[in-house]
Amino acid sequence: MAAANRWIRPEVYPLFAATGLAVGICGFQLVRNICGNPEVRDNFDEGHKYKERALRKYVRNRKLEIMPSLNSFFTDPQNN
């Protein structure tokens, strides 16, 4: 252990911890992406079902507004 203390200063340990955490998060996201997403190059139907989920079907024919009544109040003052 004495040889390690000679080469690594104590101020460097937090840097090693932060770098290790960042590498761990990147590795976790990589594995999650590989395991979670369907392989659509081989199976088009699975990719289509993954893309056309229920929320996307619900929102597809709606207006893209968060608060429609508030938007119409400020954009069309003669109707209010």
What is the rounded end-to-end Cα distance, in angstroms, of the chain? 78
| 32 located within any domain | yes
| 5 located within any domain | no
| 26 located within any domain | yes
Domain that holds residue 26: 14-75
Instruction: Indicate the pTM of the whole model.
Output: 0.45
| 23 located within any domain | yes
> Which single residue is written with the structure tokens 């290790």?
20
Q: Is the pLDDT of residue 76 over 90?
A: no
Q: What is the pLDDT of residues 17-30, one digit of tens each?
A: 999 999 999 999 99
* CB-CB contact of 42 with 35 (8 Å): no
Domains in the chain, number: 1
Cβ contacts of 50 within 8 Å, gap of 6 or more: 37, 38, 40
| 47 located within any domain | yes
